[in-house]
Amino acid sequence: MVGTLHIKMILSDKKILEAITQGNIVIEPYDVACLGTNSYDVHLGKTLAVYKERMLDAKKHNTIEYIEIPEEGYVIQPGMLYLGVTEEYTETHHAVPFLEGKSSVGRLGIDIHATAGKGDVGFCNYWTLEISCVQPVRIYAGMPIGQLIYFRVDGDIENFYNKKQNAKYTVRTNKPVESMMWKNKF
């Protein structure tokens, strides 16, 4: 019995441009200088958020407060979770988007996501970042923060994220969005 071989295919710069031209990938604002060999660089938006309470509860709505990053930057601290947001609004209709930190950001000891690096086909929004650091570091609105890579999808899609009844992150906003875990039944 011969098994089916599934190979993950990352879109090249030419395939990303083709998908943009066809409307299958939307990036606003788009800057050709941010297009890499097989990724697109995204930037930190001007708003961070922190949870109001130090102790979080997965079954409750944990509220946040916003912090506008001033022109001189903002120093993030170890032991804190900061929610950030990309400057770029994106839509991905026929590929799986993954958001990874840039190596230059990682070399500053900054993580941009705790677990949520993968988007879903049909995700249409700004990306909320789960930012943490290993030592104090000053960050700035507009700094390159991550890169989107796109994986080709094998097969037809039945449940696009933006059309799912129970999708929790579909309201378009350029502000970080808190966890909606409390909407799950468990």
Going by the DSSP 8-state scheme, the letter that residue 5 receives in this structure is: P
Enter the tokens of residue 22: 């066809």
Report how far residue 77's alpha carbon sits from residue 48's, in angstroms, rounded to the nearest whole number: 13
Question: What 3-state DSSP class applies to 12?
Answer: coil
Q: For residue 108, what are the contacts with CB-CB under 8 A and spacing of at least 6?
A: 133, 137
Q: How far is CA 121 from the centre of its chain?
A: 13
Q: Is 130 one of the catalytic residues?
A: yes
Please, what is the Cα angle at 56 between 54 and 62, to 5 degrees? 100
The residue from 71, 130, 158, 178 that is catalytic is 130
Give the Å distances, CA to CA, from 134 to 8, 78, 131: 32, 5, 11
Kindly list the catalytic residues. 130
